[in-house]
Chains A and B, each alone.
Chain A
């Protein structure tokens, strides 16, 4: 499995603003998954986008995938303080194992 690289490493915004974080990877994928980790907790799966999909929505989350650029982005609209967490992407080349990067740490201030 390959590792994704999240960018930026840290992001600080105000409640109500949108948050965008990016993920780049190196080789072709079967799907790409995004996870959230709240402080002191395990990772929680947010969304999976397949290689033949370009965009996917789930509530306030919007994920895009550009396989030609080997990149994905996660947009959280109308952020809330409860969105404060670290976010990880996991590009998957068809294996059941995943490799996680260092994540993007998002801080949403009231």
Chain B
């Protein structure tokens, strides 16, 4: 069965360090998304991609970057981790049309001390 996997599931790091969260999907979807979920804010879109070499900023992109070198992967990088970036991060993918659902991974819980 097709799936979307995130790794690691949990990570603890220190402020100032660079952190990369992995997202891999086997749906062969063009679209991929990164969200963060915080109490009181719901899910907020960080970055998204409509295909290889395409990346776009979402609502809360400051301090984050992504790159899309193939269809399957969209890694999320925190260039210099800050305590405000402690959150649960979700990756999702969808086919190329607006009437297609998004498929989510089970998230990465990131703590920055």
Measured CB to CB, the residues of A under 8 A from B are 30-31, 33, 35, 40-45, 48, 50, 88, 92, 94-103
Q: Are B104 and A42 in contact (CB under 8 A)?
A: yes
Question: A96 CA to B56 CA in the complex, in Å?
Answer: 12
B14 within 8 A of A: no
Task: Say if the beta carbon of B8 comes within 8 Å of chain A.
Answer: no
User: CA A67 – CA B58 in complex, angstroms?
Assistant: 27
CB contact under 8 A between A102 and B41, given known A31-B98, A44-B104: yes
Q: How far is the CB of A79 from chain B (nearest CB, A)?
A: 23
Out of B58, B98, B105, name the residue touching A96 (CB < 8 Å). Answer: B98
Scoring B residues 99 to 113 as 1 if CB is less than 8 Å from chain A, else 0, what string do you get? 111111111000000
Chain A residue at smallest Cβ distance from B90: A42
Write the B73-93 contact mask toward A (1 if CB under 8 angstroms, else 0).
000000000000000001010
A102 x B98 contact (CB < 8 A): no
Which interface class (under 10, 10 to 19, 20 to 34, 35 or more) fits B? 20 to 34
Which residue of the partner chain, among B31, B42, B98, B103, contacts A30 with CB atoms under 8 Å?
B98
Tell me whether B42 and A100 are in contact (CB under 8 A): yes
Establish whether residues A97 and B42, one from each chain, have CB atoms under 8 Å apart when the complex forms.
Answer: no
Is B107 in contact with A42, judged by CB distance below 8 angstroms? Answer: yes
Q: List 28 A-B contacts (CB under 8 A).
A: A31-B98, A33-B101, A41-B106, A42-B92, A42-B105, A42-B107, A43-B43, A43-B104, A44-B104, A45-B101, A45-B102, A45-B103, A50-B99, A88-B42, A92-B98, A92-B99, A95-B98, A96-B31, A96-B48, A96-B94, A96-B98, A96-B100, A99-B45, A99-B59, A100-B35, A102-B40, A102-B41, A102-B42
Tell me the smallest distance from the CB of B23 to a CB of chain A, in Å.
11
Instruction: List B contacts of A102 (CB < 8 A).
Output: 40-42
What CA separation (Å) do A101 and B40 show in the bound complex? 10
A3 CB to nearest chain B CB (Å): 8
Judging by beta carbons under 8 Å apart, are A43 and B40 in contact?
no
Of B58, B99, B106, which one neighbours A48 at CB under 8 angstroms? Answer: B99
Partner of B42, one of A48, A94, A103: A103
In the complex, A29→B43 CA distance in Å?
20
